[in-house]
Amino acid sequence: MTALQLDRFTPQVEESIAAAGRHASGYGHTVIGAEDLLFGLLFTKPTEPTSSLSRIMEQRFDVTRYKVSLAIKELSGTDLYDTPVGETYTRGAQRALAFAEGKVEDGPVGRYDVMAGLASCEDSNLLLLLTTLNVDPNYLARVMNDPNNSENGRV
C-alpha cells in the first residue's frame, strides 16, 4: 500500500484519527480499524458545529455515540482484522484513508472525505457494524460521495 500523506489531513481529521487510536486501545487493539475511524469521526467535536457528522448520522440514521459504542462492544469478539505486521491501520482503514486522499486532488482532506472513504472501503468489521446499526452502507456511500450534497464540506 502506498504510504499515506497524513500532512494533507485537516486538524479535525488528525484529531479524529487520534480519537480512533484511543478508542482502539480501549478495546485492547494495537491497530486502528475502520470502525475505530468511524467512532473517531463521529465523536470528536468539530470546530464548526454546523458541519457535524455526528448530527447528520443521528438525524438521518438514528446513530448515537451510545449505540455505536454498544454495537462495537457487542461485535468486539468478531475480530476479522487483516493487518500486516507493523502497520498502524487495518487494511480496511488504510483503504478508507487512501480513498479520502484520492478523492481530493488539491487541498486538505477533510472529515467528509474520510467518511466517504469509510463508506466505500468495504471493510468487513465496518460493514457488520453499520448493518447492526441499521445503516445501509450503499446509501451512506451515495450520500457521502454526492458532490451536490451541501453537507460535504472539508471539515
pLDDT by residue (tens digit) across 38-80? 888 887 765 544 345 677 778 888 888 888 888 887 876 544 4
The structural domains of the chain, with segments of one domain joined by +, span 7-145
pTM above threshold 0.85 = no
pLDDT for 147: 66
Using CA atoms, how far residue 87 sits from 26, 45, 50, 78, in Å, is 18, 27, 34, 20
CATH number of 7-145: 1.10.1780.10
Residues 112 and 155 sit within 8 Å (Cβ to Cβ) = yes
What values do phi and psi take at 32, rounded to 5?
Answer: -95, 120
Please report which confidence band the pLDDT of residue 149 belongs to, taking 50, 70 and 90 as the band edges. Answer: low
Give the whole-angstrom CA distance, residue 50 versus residue 19.
Answer: 20
- At 80 the pLDDT is 46
Residue 119 has pLDDT above 70, yes or no: yes
45 burial (CB, 10 Å; 0-12 / 13-18 / 19+) is exposed
